[in-house]
Structure 1
Amino acid sequence: MSRQTRDWPIMPQQINAILISQLRQLRARSRYLRMNDPYASSFAGMKTRNIVGHMGVTMQAKVKQQRGDKLNEKLNKELEQAWTTWCLPKYCSVKKDMGFAAMQQFLQAQTPTDGEFFVQRVVDKANPFGMSLRIVDPDQLDAGYNSQIPLPNGNIIVMGVELDPELAPVAYHFFKPNLFYGASQPRERIRVPASDVIHYFVPWFVNQIRGIPEMAPSAYRLNMVSGYEDAEAQAARLGATKAGFFYNEKGETEYTGEKDKLDQNSFIDEVEPGQFDILPTGWKMQTYDPQHPNAAYAVFMKTALRAVSAGFGVDYPTLANDLESVNLSSMRGGMMETRDGYRIGQQNFIQHFICRVFSWWLEAVDLKGAVTLGKVTRDVVEESIVWTPRRWGYIDPMKDVQADILANDNGLGTLTNSLAEKGMDFEETIDQIAYQQQYIKAKGVKLGADLKGDSAGNGVVEEDDGETASSGQQDGGNKSGAKGGS
């Protein structure tokens, strides 16, 4: 160990021991940054927009008939309609204040500041679907509530989470909600079984019990950058006022001229545009003109925010809204790397939150009789659901579309995968194309290449020509569909 590395820890510390003493401070500082720092707020918005999107994770039922490979259209339609209705605010939320898509957006925005979220299942007999959801503030699970001595049932409690001998969650000991609680006020705890709670977080270490705020690695640096930016703004504001000082070269402390009407209290402290005035004899003025922001301001901010972006796991140009020196190639590289991170977040979110909620919902509607499953088991239904998260548009549309066509034509890809990357479903797209072609044929309209092939050049459509064109379009659509399904 050298003098330069003396403050660098060399003794590993168990992650839960660190969180017991620091989790609440980390969460408080991260929440403060989100409310007061534009870059922290931007990061939370990026997570919401890119992992969940404006529609949330969408559901499509693909349950097959018990015999053969054909889809059970009746059951699938019933499931999709019931799920869509339940996602409305009046059924989904206990408070009836947000739908399921809005709830997903809200929860994703919490992970940068809290590192975790809690959602509780509430059985509601008055609800036509039998259940709704309650969001629980992570502050209601006391990180200081720990039991070193096992409970009578052999379980232990770590940061409010009751664990069995295998460290699997058994229950959560939440405080009762209190909007005006203070540090000195006693608070009552409620034990909620783990089967009724979704505790979502991405673990960083083995046996980690609570989530770490995603802002933690960059929070200190971001707070320092925020302070520096405020100081530069204050200095620039002072510089813009063109302040100054009066001084006397002879060292006199007051004006003593008998005939001059000016006295010590006559110094000019307010001016107007175009004003010229007279100072007392022997006194001069020294201006105060700080040059801020200085020349290194932009370079420093860019360097600091690049490090912050790396800690957040997002690309710098988007976080800082700085496209000044970005070209298409560099933007593509940064966005593709960031989107890979978003895809990981989407997969975790779907597996550990969306699927759990759907399992609860399916059990509730089955018992309530809101959906008729018949002989199909819940497990079969859950395994037959396709969840589609938000997808992104092309970065360079022409080149990206050409690459998709080339890959599909040479057997290196499928239309199904190309559409999935855009968040579109193959079957639904083909159905829409078929409907579109039938509607165009019925109206006798030519579009696209068919207009260019009209020898008259006037856009007038004859009946026979319209049928031929429609037939050609129909064949082209079928060929495309066959190729995509291969």
Structure 2
Amino acid sequence: MFNFLRSSAPPTEAPAAKPSSTEPPSRKRSIPRAIVRSLLGQARADRLSGDLPSVPVPADDYITKNQKPLVARSRQLALTNDYARGFLRQCRQNIVGHAGIALQAQSRDADGTLDERANDAIEADFIKWSARGNCDVTGRRSLRQILNRAVDDAATNGEFMIRMVYGRDLNAWGLALQVLDPQRCPVEFNQDKLPGGHFIRQGIEHNRWGRPVQYLFSTLDPSEADYTYGGRHFVKVPASEVMHGFLEDLVGQRRGLPWMVTALLRMHHLDGFEKAALVNARVSAAKGGFFEWDEGAGPVDDEDDAEPLYMDAEPGSYQELPPGLKFRGWDPQFPSGELAPFSKQTLRGIATGLGISYNELANDLEGVNFSSIRQGKLSERENWKDLQEWLIEALLEPLFHAWLPRALLKGITLSGANKATLRPGRLEKYQEHAWQPKRWDWVDPDKDSKTAARDISNKIKSPSQVIRERGGDPRAVWRQWARDRESMIEAGIPEALVDASLGDPTMNTGAAPAAGEASNEG
């Protein structure tokens, strides 16, 4: 009776399924599902991963919330932790070095040749300005010490802030540097909707494109304050006068994080572990214990208030105990073998986060061979080179471009009897320059020297490139060679003997390095 629900059209046969050369549909669907399950497993929140964040945090929010406690902990470890102090020392020694980062003026004449007199004069004047008493407003630091301070601040505070101060009363150049504490620029100070689309983020006023315009530094003297907000007084410093350097970890980051940020907890726990092990070792070495009375023995009730019983332990002597009194020794076994492997594993993680080798951080060369230390040094030195370029770009480049015009106006004196000075109108010519940061000797200097000589002979490297890789100035090295040769000839040494002693025996005799000679390659 339900025929009216059915179609009156004659039934048609379903078309036969076409054979498919592909995999069954169920198989095709299972592959992406498996991939999705494996990917989503990394985002699943359970009891083992609940402490990992599941919502991305903007850079401004992360810095505003976490920078102050991170800087406080980093400063504490920098003052009290041996490994943190060792890391800061490594940063100073490898980024700046004992001789600092040298300026190499490279101005050229119209024919493309180097203007040696002008370059020497610029370099000499910059060295004079860099001396202690000239480049620092307080007169206490040289430029090398200011660079060390910048590296220390970046590693400990996450950033450095150095102000370029101008004034005739500073020095002959009218330019000096003032090292500022970055924490005086309040990271928690934010303000929106300023005139012209400006806004303040983390103590820095930006234009509508996010370019720094002014830095706000807190002051306790209301009379010198340029800006007051929330009962706090601030001094405004133009961004063009502040050299602000930090390593950018997040897109949109405006303030820096300490370089030791990932190692802070490990350093703290390792320090606590070592202190506990030291205390336990001292207690164990003292061979202390407890006194126990046998049942029925001991002091009577009215003697309970008597002084506790102590025994003085002296080497080779034993004290006689009263009847019924026994001594039960307490001999803790920790640390027996836990300290060394735990410390080594922890220091490996710390060294990885800091970008240096474990052997350098822990001062541990046990079991090190030539190949392993070479591999560690190669990676570590690439990190130092990267930080050297960062320091040059963040500090030395803006400093040089601010110093050179004022030095030319002051007068950069050329060598010679006439005492001529460089013309300020040729500023563009004299701006050509380069920086020579610290470089390092190889683990095996003999192999390194042989490899350099072979590279020069095979035209793989030029002599000037080899000199720069050693941290030298090619022009200075060649001039020194010329002066040495001239001095020896003036002293009466035959010219042929001088040339033979100063020349490369391999190039003079036509000999080549022995087959199979070891090198530092590979």
Aligned pairs for 1:87-106 within 5 A? 87-106=130-149
Q: Quick check: 1:123 aligned with 2:171?
A: no
Give the distance between the partners of 1:96 and 1:135, measured in 2 at CA: 12
Runs of 5+ unmatched residues, structure 2: 1-43, 222-229, 414-420, 509-522
Q: Quick check: 1:358 aligned with 2:386?
A: no
Aligned pairs for 1:73-84 within 5 A? 73-84=116-127
2:427 aligns with one of 378, 398, 412 = 378
1:484 aligned residue: none
- Paired residues of 2:298 and 2:324 also in contact (CA < 8 A): no
2:82 aligned residue: 38
1:188 aligned residue: 233
**1:153 Cα deviation from its structure 2 partner:** 2.5
2:12 aligned residue: none
Which deviates the most, 38-47 or 169-178? Answer: 169-178
1:248 aligned residue: 293
Give the distance between the partners of 1:413 and 1:201, measured in 2 at CA: 34
* Deviations 1:33-79 (CA, angstroms, capped at 9, x unpaired): 010100001111101000000111111212112x2122223322221
1:219 aligned residue: 264
C-alpha distance 292-328 of structure 1, shift in aligned 2 (>3 A): same
- Paired residues of 1:267 and 1:279 also in contact (CA < 8 A): no
AA in 2 matched with 1:143: V
C-alpha distance 345-475 of structure 1, shift in aligned 2 (>3 A): closer
Aligned pairs for 1:190-339 within 5 A? 190-250=235-295, 254=299, 267-339=309-381
**1:434 Cα deviation from its structure 2 partner:** 1.9
Normalising by the residue count of structure 1, what TM-score does the alignment of the two structures yield?
A: 0.87
**1:222 Cα deviation from its structure 2 partner:** 1.0
SS of 2:133's equivalent?
A: helix
1:387 aligns with one of 415, 424, 435 = 435
Runs of 5+ unmatched residues, structure 1: 179-184, 446-465, 481-486
- Paired residues of 2:311 and 2:319 also in contact (CA < 8 A): no
SS of 2:262's equivalent?
A: helix
SS of 2:208's equivalent?
A: coil
AA in 2 matched with 1:246: F
- Paired residues of 1:235 and 1:290 also in contact (CA < 8 A): yes
C-alpha distance 58-283 of structure 1, shift in aligned 2 (>3 A): same
Q: Quick check: 1:59 aligned with 2:103?
A: yes
AA in 2 matched with 1:73: E
Normalising by the residue count of structure 2, what TM-score does the alignment of the two structures yield?
A: 0.81
AA in 1 matched with 2:60: N
1:349 aligned residue: 391
Taking only the aligned residue pairs, the percentage that are identical comes to 30
**1:473 Cα deviation from its structure 2 partner:** 4.8
Q: Quick check: 1:159 aligned with 2:202?
A: yes
1:139 aligned residue: 183
C-alpha distance 361-251 of structure 1, shift in aligned 2 (>3 A): farther
- Paired residues of 1:60 and 1:386 also in contact (CA < 8 A): yes
Give the distance between the partners of 1:472 and 1:229, measured in 2 at CA: 60
Aligned pairs for 1:13-28 within 5 A? 13-28=57-72
**1:100 Cα deviation from its structure 2 partner:** 0.4
SS of 2:92's equivalent?
A: helix
**1:119 Cα deviation from its structure 2 partner:** 0.5
1:470 aligns with one of 498, 510, 515 = 498
AA in 2 matched with 1:32: Q
C-alpha distance 309-389 of structure 1, shift in aligned 2 (>3 A): same
Which deviates the most, 430-439 or 282-291? Answer: 430-439
Give the distance between the partners of 1:339 and 1:376, measured in 2 at CA: 41
**1:252 Cα deviation from its structure 2 partner:** 5.0
* Deviations 1:140-177 (CA, angstroms, capped at 9, x unpaired): 00011101x22013111000011111111111011127
**1:253 Cα deviation from its structure 2 partner:** 5.3
Larger Rg: 2
- Paired residues of 1:60 and 1:387 also in contact (CA < 8 A): yes
1:448 aligned residue: none
AA in 1 matched with 2:429: V
CA RMSD, Structure 1 to Structure 2 (Å):
2.4
Give the distance between the partners of 1:309 and 1:10, measured in 2 at CA: 28
SS of 2:173's equivalent?
A: coil
Give the distance between the partners of 1:355 and 1:165, measured in 2 at CA: 26
